[in-house]
Amino acid sequence: MGGLPKKWSTVLPRAGKGGYWRGNGRTGRGGMRMKRRGWIVLLATAALVVMVNAAAWKSSGFCDWYVSCVYPLWVSTYGRLTGLLTFSVGEWMLVAGVVLTAAVLLAGIAAVIFRAAFRKAKGYGTVTGLCRKCFAAYAWILTGVAVVMTLNCFIPYHCSTLEEKYGLMDRMAAGEPVLQELMEKEYTIEELGQLRDYVVIKCNELAAQVERDAEGNIIYPENMEELAAEAMLNLSADCGQLGGYYPQPKQFAFSEFFSQQKMKGYFFPFSMEINYNSLMHEINRPATICHEYAHLKGFMYEEEANMIGFLACIRSSDLTFQYSGYLSVLNYINNEFYDAVGRDMQVYASHVGISPQVRRENVFLEEKAWEKVEQKAVISTEVVDKVSDKLSQTSMVLNGVEDGILSYTRVVGLLLHYFDGAAEEQETLAAIGEGQELLVQAE
C-alpha cells in the first residue's frame, strides 16, 4: 500500500528506454538488441562482399574502373602504412590467423564438452559465454579478411587482360586491328624455336657482361630495391597502371619455409606488401621484385606479372637486371620448346646451347641454401610443396584461372606476341647465320 521499505528499494531493477538492468550483470533487453544489430551488420557486410564479387565476375569494365580509380588509394595509404614497419606484416598476419583458427577450434571443442558433461556445473555459463564471444570475434575477423581480399585481390583478378588494356607496350597500342590478329595467331615450332634461341643468346651474352669479382661471382648493385621501383616506373610510360607509389620490398622472415614451397616472392593483399626469399640465388631478386610489384599494381594473373617483371628488367640500364629478366623466362620458353619438339634431343641439340655459366646461375637455391632449408624443416619439403601447389591451384581456379598454376607458362604466348617481327630478335638470330659459334648443348 505505502510501498516497499526504503532499505529494499535500492536493489530493485530500474527501468529505462533501452530495457532493464539486472543486478547480476547479465545482458538485458538492450544488450540483446545490440547483439542483434551486430549480427545484422555482419550478415549485411558478408552479403555486400558476395554482391561485389558477383559484379566483378560479370563486369570487367567495373573491375577496370576500380583498379584505375580506387585500388591505387589502398596502395598509397594502407601500403604506405605497413611499409613503415621493417618486418613482414603479412607473414605475421598469417601466423596470427593460424593461431586464431586453432584457438577457435579448441573453443568449439570446449563448448561441446561443457554442454554435454558440465551443463549444471559452476562456471558453465561463463565458459560458454566466452566461447560464443570467441566465435563472434572470429566471424568478424573472417568477414574483415573477405572485405580486404575482395578489395585488394579478387576484383583485380577480373580486369581486362594486359594486352587488352595496353597492347604490346612500346610495340603496339591496344585497339589496333593488327593486335587482335596477333592475339589469335597460332605460332609454329620454328617461331617458338627462334624465340627460345634469342632468349638463350641474351642470357649467354649478359652472363659474360655482368660485373664479377675475382672468383667469378656477380657483383650486385647495393640499391637493388630502388632500381626495381625505378624500372617499374620507367615501364609506366607504356602502362599507366604501373605508376604511383612503390613500398620497400621486404625479406621473408621464414625464408626456409617458403623455400620448401619453391616460392621466390609473394604479394600479400591483406597487408599490401611484397616479400622476397632471402635464400634464393641473388640473380633471381630483380625479376622477382618486379614480378611482385606487378601484382601490387593490380596485375593478378601470373603470366602478366611474369611479362611485366621481364620487361621492367630488360629495359633497365643495369646489366644485372637485364640478365635477371631474361633468366626469369628462360625455363618457361626452353621447356615449352623441348616439349614442342617431342623431347627429341637431336632436334633440341641443333639449337643454340645454354652456356655453363648460365646453367650454374639459373637455379632457385644453391646447394648450401638447400642444406640449410632441409636442416630447419619441420615438415618434409615434398609435403609442403604439394600442399602449397594444391592451395595455389585452388585459389587460382576459384578466381577464374582455369589452368591454375600452369598459367605461369602462358608468359610464352605473351613473349611470342611481343617479339613477333621485332628487329632486335631478327638481328640477333641473323648473327648466328653469319658464323656465330654455337655452344654445345650440355644435356
Does 257 lie in the same domain as 117? no
Q: Is residue 309 part of a domain?
A: yes
Q: Is residue 442 part of a domain?
A: no
pLDDT of 225 reads 93
Has residue 319 got a pLDDT over 90?
yes
Rg (CA), the chain: 29
Share of the chain above pLDDT 90, in %: 53
Average predicted confidence (pLDDT) for the chain: 83
Does 173 lie in the same domain as 269? yes
- At which of 126, 142, 160 does a domain end? 160
Average pLDDT over residues 175-183: 73
Q: Is residue 21 part of a domain?
A: no
Q: Is residue 405 part of a domain?
A: yes
Give pLDDT tens digits for 335-386. Answer: 999 999 999 999 999 999 999 999 999 999 988 888 888 887 777 676 666 6
- Residue span of the structural domain in which 121 resides: 27-160
Does 54 lie in the same domain as 108? yes
Q: Is residue 441 part of a domain?
A: no
Does 255 lie in the same domain as 212? yes
- At which of 160, 182, 200 does a domain end? 160
Does 65 lie in the same domain as 210? no
Per-residue CA distances from 205 to 142, 322, 323, 338 (Å): 51, 11, 9, 22
Does 217 lie in the same domain as 106? no
Q: Is residue 123 part of a domain?
A: yes
pLDDT of 386 reads 67
| Band of pLDDT at residue 322, cut at 50, 70 and 90 | very high
Share of the chain above pLDDT 70, in %: 79
pLDDT of 113 reads 77
Does 245 lie in the same domain as 388? yes
Does 167 lie in the same domain as 140? no
- The Cα 206–Cα 439 span in angstroms is 15
Does 278 lie in the same domain as 410? yes
- At which of 160, 193, 226 does a domain end? 160
Helix and strand numbers (H, E) in the chain are: 21, 5
Q: Is residue 66 part of a domain?
A: yes
SS3 419: helix
Q: Is residue 4 part of a domain?
A: no
- Higher pLDDT residue, 17 or 160? 160
Give pLDDT tens digits for 89-137. Answer: 999 998 999 898 888 888 788 777 777 766 666 666 676 777 778 888 8
Give pLDDT tens digits for 217-250. Answer: 999 999 999 999 999 999 999 999 999 999 999 9
